[in-house]
Structure 1
Amino acid sequence: MSPQQGQPPRSGSRHAAGGPVRAAQRRLRYVLKHGRQGLRGQRTVVGTAVRVTAAACIAFYLCRYGFDRTVMSVYATFTVVSLGVLARIPGSGRQRTATTLTALPAGLALITLGTLLAVQTWAAVLGMLVIGFMVAYAGTTGPRIAGAAPGMQLLYILPCFPPYAPDALGQRLSGFLLGAALLALAQRFVLPEPDTPPYRGLLADAADAAAVLADRHGGPAPMAELARAHAAGDALRPSQVPPADRPASPGLRHKAMGHAAETARTLLARLEALHASAGPHTYRPETVALLQGISATARETAGALREGKRLEPGEGPSTAALQSLLAPARTHRAVDTLVRLNSDDRLAYLRRRSLVVQAADSAVVLALATRLLLGDRSVDRNPAGHAFTYARTHVLELWWHRLSAHLTPRSVIFQNACRFALGLAAARAIAGLLDLQHGFWVLLATLTLTRTTSLETWSAVRQALIGTLVGAVLAGGLLALVHDRITVYALVLPVVMLTAFTAGPLRGLAWAQGGFTLVVATLFAQVAPVTWQLAPVRLLDVLVGSVIGLTCGLLAWPRGAGSEVRRSMAALCSAIADAIGQTTTRVVEHSDVVGTPDTTVLMVNRALGLARESLAQYQCEPRHDVAGQPDWPAVLVAAADARRGERLLPGRPGRITHHEVGTWLRHAAGNTAADYRALAQHLRRHQGSPHERPQHLDIRGLLEVAPPIPRDGSDHDPRAVAAALLIDSVIWLDALTADLNRIHQEL
């Protein structure tokens, strides 16, 4: 159609729309808008890049041009890069600053050892083997130390190469201290990561949610309160808590925090199940009294957690009132249940009647764990028999338990530490024997490219070589073009650093390696005269380090946690079976002859720690065969239930003196333990699904041997107290059987 027929010319369309200038403005507004949104979404990456660039450049310029100390400038800059980029220190700005300052003594020791051991290649290699293992293995003690470990490795790698210069140790240590101090200041004041809610606050929120839920004594299901309780319980899951805030260290305070969190989640789960099963009916007076006691104890616990005041023995949330209600409720429930079980052999009634008692038990334990968390170690003498045996354990013993728990080839942390130590030692030996010009880069490549599986290592090596090749070409061109004009390098360094440390985490390993190659070239050009040949040297060193890392990945546990997770879960099932047998023996005999609270809980804790670590690594590794895996978290839940029974049952008042009842309980526990051992065997064999389903508890067999107990008897009647202990044990075994059924459904 021609313009004369009514169609306006195309040029008119552009003018009507504003022309190319308006189009460019709209495009610019679009880029700025979406760029700001992208930066907000990547605030952590951008903030880290800005902090590291600012601290590294200030440290370098001050030492290189202010003090004219080249060695000091290199160590100050690489300290910032190692602890700010290579390390993955978690937490808020305050927490990262505290972790950086806490690492100062270890950093001074590592630099000193590296300097002194550089006297001979064999000494440096041996030191790399030992120190590399120790630094990597230290990650067992918590996320903060684990996050700082890669950066700490670099602090030993940097000084362990020739020239052997003990006279330069002063400059090296001064540079390290300056770099660490500047990084700490940047982490605290330059775009700091926001503070997160303290873990005590999460525990207090959970206790408050439990109190609100316990205030409801009937009527329709309180949907709002249930939603709040569910959210509070989820907030305590380790996967929902920032790594720096998790109670993961071996110290007494963190152990008490973990105990309180596990108990708080159990309390909320029991109260949620109680309201879900009750329907619109009104609770009995006995149940209402227990719920009121739970509410009062939970509120007092929440108040103590929020106040955070250190407690002396006997201070803090009291459990006396709730325990005085709990003892008769337990015996009444037990006697009433033994009568009702004649017509309810599926335990539905028993489970329903046990929910409020288990909730009250959990409220007592939560209050006691809170008192221990706040400094009251007298909770281990609680008359109800709750096990806080670690309350009197010396801190060094607690740390030894944690460190020794992973000293086994079955631990993925041990495997990773060995893999890194062997790789770094091999890289140091090759760099020394071949007298590579920049052998430091070989070890740095080995450190940064070694992964937990050979498949992942090969993928990382491929990307790194591509990125290093591109970066080497650009660095060679920059060095050839600028040559010895140091001012240009000084002006370019902040831009190169900021770009590299931003693009690397956002765009992938290839960008990170290419960007770091440019950073190294720009930095070293200001330290000593260099030519474009520095770029191919860097590429060669990365290639050598990549081959070493790939070789270690192929030789040392190449499948990562793929097979280890099954072994650790099988070992955990065996530990659960052993705990069931030992706990039942102590309940029946009421003695510490077979198994003690310390040994049984430690046995389960050790297996549980290995299983958790292997599962965490397994979930982080890329895999093709993800189908057909068991419900691994259900195995962890079963272990927690086994540990809870050991902590609660043996110390309960009462004794099962009736021989036939004790025999039945031993037999029932033996069947449950046998099912867990069969599951362990199945997991070790890597074959299909188990042929036999878990055996249900033989309640009719119990009723045939259980002696009659008068329903109007005293709460302190030994027969009633023994019945309460028996019913608690039955509920515990029933929970372990239910856990086993859930696991079997996924096989």
Structure 2
Amino acid sequence: MGVPRWTEWLRARDPGLTAVRRSARVTVAACAGFYAARYGLGDRTVAIYALFGAVAAGGLSSVPGTPRQRATTLLAALPLAAGLVTLGTWLAVHGWAAALGMLAVGFLVTYSGVGGPKLVGLANGLQLFYILPCFPPYAPSTLGLRLSGLVAGVVLMAAAELWLWPAVCPGRYEDRLARAARVAADALYGLAAEPTRRSDPASLLEMSQALRMSQVPADERPASASARDQALSEGAGHMRHLLAQTRQLVESLREDKGAAGVEPAAKELLSASAVACEDVERALAGKAPPPTLSSCGAAVRAFESHRVRPHRAGADSATVVRNGAIALDITHTADLVVMAVRIVLGAPVPAGTASPEVRGAFWYANRSTAELYYRRVLAHLTPRSVCFQNAVRTAVALAAARLVVGQLGLSHGFWALLTTLTVMRTSAADTRTALRPALRGTLAGAVVAALILHFAVDAPAVYAVLLPPCMLLAFASGSVLGPGWGQAFFTLTVAAAFSQVVRSGPELAAARVLDVLAGALIGAFVGLLAWPHGGTGELRRACARVLDQGTRAVTEVTDTITGGGRATDALPRVRLAQRIAEASYAQYATERQTPRRATAGAETDFQVIMLVGNRVITMGQVLLDNCPPGALSAWPRSAAHLRDAAHRLRLGSLPFSHGLRSGQDQPAPVGGHADEAPADTTVIHDVCVASAGREPDPLLYYAVDAAIWMASLQRAIGAARTPPTVSRTKTSPWH
């Protein structure tokens, strides 16, 4: 195979040579610190900690962001790493103390990942900083040397991130949101000018799909607890709804051949929404200041004063009112997108221009990152949280491994804990999948290492030459060739490193195999006993809670505005269920797709269920803020239809929720066929009749908004339980 073909093959396996570059950075940083300390200073302790400091910071850690951001994160984590090395050094003398310390460190470090991807990326590296000094030699007197090596390794790794084959900067989620805003603006301008000719539903669907987190590389996902990332994530959800409603309006007008069309007042709404989307696109691209809400607010007030005028009863009138309500929904959603982008760009929340529902949707604005992180930590402190489960599983497995290794007196016991950390996954199936290549690779590497150690037992120069290429292959081959190859070369790496520190023979390879076997078995055993189904089962239960709390909130909100009850804490319960579901979905996306799950999961679109929860929260708050309790009781027919639609929505979703909890998908759409969706046209007809010959009353038209809201929720829930090949049709604008 020639060089060009080899390069082509490598780039096909490793696009952009990302894994190769990363491995090269780790190798240069680790070997530079190791050789300088071992042969320059003649200090073996500093050498080992410099080597593993760089390995932990670069090889075991995967910090997202630009090279500068990664380097900054590593340096910021240095005090914590030093604290863990110190703690491990002092607790290592007593086996039970070391195991209890491992239990606490394992839980706290893993659970800290609820704060965002940077903490998740650092978790394995931070675990190693405690694991490494937790084993012989028990030498607290060498703590200063250990910390010196640690600092050298981490600083060298940070420097390598900046200047040594720096990784390509990841894309920005803001750019995706900006492109979606541009497409939305073009479609809305087209609707306002020429509804039947200038808008493309396919482009709206494509941009909506591009905003889905499952379509976004991990480095781009806004998943931290900061107000900026929360606003980006929530703004994208609102943009997806805006695109869906715009697409629905486009298809509705095309089906009607533009017969009823859109009123001039509604066109003003669409134009204002288009301007807002255009401002969002320019602001995110850095071409303009943060957008304002003034244009949307003026258009909403003008439309609401217009739509209370009496309408003639009839199909055309109902269609016009319905299209106007969808246009109003689009404009309200544009308000939410604008506010999200203002928070993303660090602009203040304008109390004078933002409506109460807009300000309430972004409760986290103007709050410190520390407070938001604290709130997220408390929200996930429940056995139903996947983050909590992972922290408990990891902590118990590592503590058990430390206790077993100490009781059995295994040499190089930190390899056992490192293997436990490597093979632990969020489900028993994924742990078994990681276990096989780990054992095969370790055994193969140990055989080769034993041969080398046998023939070159007193030749440290051989190991000095072998260390860099073995380390390079250890961190690159896992991504290119498979995890078994990575384990094999990592076995050769540790053999080459330790053989330069102490005289070693073939027994070093045997010890490596024994420790890896012990660590792997402990990890697999704990993974089998503690929440063995991983994120899948929790995701299904979390989504069932979103549906249950969401439909309960819809019923409660509807009963409140129609005079049949009073709102309590339904919406806050939906918010909590939504946060847990989002964390579960993020965990589920990282797991291996087994054939069974791939088949069953095809029946349920979890992303759409979370969009349902988001929509329940935002529109439910709008209705509660604008409609006093019992506001619609003066129109008993409309109120009765709305209560009936809300209760049918809840009752129809119960079998779906039960199926999610039990693991038995039920593919039939909620409530039957699409034509059995809540009769929003019936409510609109009632409103048209009721408004004739009466004094204008803007509250009456909130019945239309509520009907449109429940109709979209009904379609979305039906689409979520229908296979994608069926649901991706024009009957569901949620896809």
Correspondence 1:501 to 2:478: no
Counterpart code for 2:656:
L
Pairwise CA distance, 1:522:
0.5
CA contact (8 A) 2:182 2:278 kept: yes
Amino acid in structure 1 at the alignment position of 2:605 = W
1:697 aligns with 2:678: yes
**Structure 1 position 516 matched with structure 2 position 490:** yes
Q: Which residue of 1 is the match for residue 731 of structure 2?
A: none
Equivalence map 1:367-516=2 (5 Å): 367-379=338-350, 382-383=354-355, 385-386=357-358, 387=360, 388-516=362-490
1:683: which partner in 2? Answer: 660
Q: Which residue pairs with 1:109 in the alignment?
A: 83
Higher deviation after alignment, 124-133 or 188-197: 188-197
Change beyond 3 A, Cα 1:71–1:201: same
Question: Whole-Å Cα distance in 1 between the matches of residues 583 and 156 of structure 2?
Answer: 38
Which among 2, 27, 43 is matched to residue 69 of structure 1? 43
Matching residue within 178, 184, 187 for 1:213:
187
* Distance change in 2, residues 1:363/1:606 (3 Å): closer
Deviation, 1:53, is 0.8
- Structure number, greater radius of gyration: 1
Q: Distance in 1 between the 2:594 and 2:335 partners?
A: 43
- Is 1:322 paired with 2:299? no
Deviations 1:348-368 (A, max 9, x none): 766544332222112222222
| Local SS of the residue matching 1:626 | helix
Cα distance, 1:343 vs. partner?
Answer: 9.3
**CA–CA separation in structure 1 for the residues paired with 2:108 and 2:49:** 22
Matched, 1:269 2:250: no
Letter aligned with residue 648 of structure 2: N
Picking from 649, 666, 669, the partner of 2:623 is: 649
Normalised to the residue count of structure 1, the TM-score between the two structures is 0.86
Correspondence 1:627-646 to 2 at 5 A = 627-629=599-601, 630-633=603-606, 634-646=608-620
Counterpart in the other structure of 1:289: 268
Counterpart pick for 1:731 among 708, 713, 727: 708
**1:644 Cα deviation after fit:** 2.5
Aligned to 1:612: 585
In structure 2, relative to structure 1, the CA distance for the partners of 1:609 and 1:330 (3 Å cut) is: same
Identify the residue that residue 90 of structure 1 maps to in structure 2.
64
Deviation at 1:724, TM superposition (A): 2.1
User: In the alignment, does 2:169 pair up with 1:198?
Assistant: no
SS in 2 for 1:108: helix
Q: Which sits farther off after the overlay, 625-634 or 442-451?
A: 625-634
Number of aligned residue pairs:
706
Summarize deviations over 1:430-471 as a string: whole Å, max 9, x none: 111111111111111111112233333233323222221221
SS of equivalent residue, structure 1 residue 487: helix
Shift of 1:336: 6.7
Task: Output one character per residue of 1:13-70: Cα deviation in whole Å (capped at 9) or x when no partner.
Answer: xxxxxxxxxxxxxx53664564565476361111111111111111111111122221
CA 1:33/1:124 → structure 2, altered by over 3 Å: closer, same or farther?
closer
Q: How far did residue 377 of structure 1 move?
A: 4.0
Distance 2:317 2:662 in 1: 41
Q: Secondary structure at the match of 1:624?
A: helix
Gaps of 5+ in 1: 1-26
Answer yes or no: is 1:665 the counterpart of 2:639.
no
Query: Who is 1:15 aligned against?
Result: none
Equivalent residues in 2 for 1:15-414, closer than 5 Å:
28=2, 31-32=5-6, 34-35=8-9, 37-38=11-12, 41=15, 43-216=17-190, 217-218=193-194, 220-222=196-198, 229-279=204-254, 281=258, 283-307=262-286, 316-330=290-304, 332-333=306-307, 339-340=313-314, 351-379=322-350, 382-383=354-355, 385-386=357-358, 387=360, 388-414=362-388
Which letter maps to 1:253? R
Contact residue 294 and residue 363 of structure 1 kept, 8 A: yes
1:565 corresponds to which letter in structure 2? Answer: L
CA contact (8 A) 1:55 1:182 kept: yes
Q: Structure 2 CA distance, aligned partners of 1:499 and 1:688?
A: 44
Tell me the distance in 2 between the aligned counterparts of 1:497 and 1:710: 77
Deviation at 1:652, TM superposition (A): 2.7
**One-letter amino acid matched to 1:697:** P
CA distance in 1, matches of 2:209, 2:600: 26
Question: Does the CA contact (< 8 Å) of 2:443 and 2:513 recur in 1?
Answer: yes
Report the CA distance shift for 1:538/1:43 in structure 2 as closer, same or farther (over 3 A): same
CA deviation map 1:579-626 (0-9, x unaligned) = 2134334544699862376x2453343343354245425x53434353
Which residue identity lines up with residue 656 of structure 1 in the other structure? L
SS at match of 1:651: helix
For 1:22, the equivalent position in structure 2 comes to none
Q: CA RMSD, aligned part only?
A: 3.2
AA aligned to 1:108 is: A
Tell me, yes or no, if the aligned pair for 1:45 and 1:505 is still in contact at 8 Å.
yes
Ranges in structure 2 where 5+ consecutive residues have no aligned partner: 725-735
CA–CA separation in structure 2 for the residues paired with 1:614 and 1:501: 24
C-alpha displacement of 1:173: 1.6
Q: Secondary structure at the match of 1:255?
A: helix
Give yes or no for contact 2:235–2:340 (8 Å, CA) kept in 1: yes
Query: How much does 1:214 deviate?
Result: 2.4
Q: Does the 8 A contact of 1:56 with 1:76 survive in 2?
A: yes
Deviations 1:410-429 (A, max 9, x none): 22222222111111000000
**Alignment check: 8 A CA contact 1:475 1:517 kept:** yes
Cα 1:627/1:390, change in 2 over 3 Å = same
Alpha-carbon distance in structure 1 between the residues aligned to 2:334 and 2:693: 28
Question: Counterpart of 1:632 in structure 2: which amino acid?
Answer: D
Q: CA, structure 1 residues 299+505, in 2 after alignment: closer, same or farther (shift >3 Å)?
A: closer
> Partners in 2 of 1:454 and 1:412 — Cα distance?
14
Rounded to whole Å, the distance in 2 between the matches of 1:688 and 1:258 is 28
Tell whether the 8 Å contact from 1:135 to 1:153 is kept in structure 2 after alignment.
Answer: yes
Distance 1:55 1:278 in 2: 62
Q: Is the 8 A contact 1:71 1:172 kept in 2?
A: yes
Q: Give the aligned partner of residue 626 of structure 1.
A: 598
Distance 2:655 2:421 in 1: 41
262-271 vs 488-497, which deviates more? 262-271
Q: Provide, for residues 287-319 of structure 1, a one-character-per-residue CA deviation record: whole Å limited to 9, x for no partner.
A: 33223222222223333333389x8xxxx4232
Distance 2:155 2:560 in 1: 55
For 1:459 and 1:209, the matched residues in 2 are separated by: 42
Residues 442 and 327 of structure 1: CA distance in aligned 2, closer, same or farther (over 3 Å): same
AA aligned to 1:574 is D
Specify whether residues 416 and 77 from structure 1 end up closer, same or farther in structure 2 by C-alpha distance, changes over 3 A only: same
8 Å CA contact 1:204–1:303 kept in 2: the answer is yes
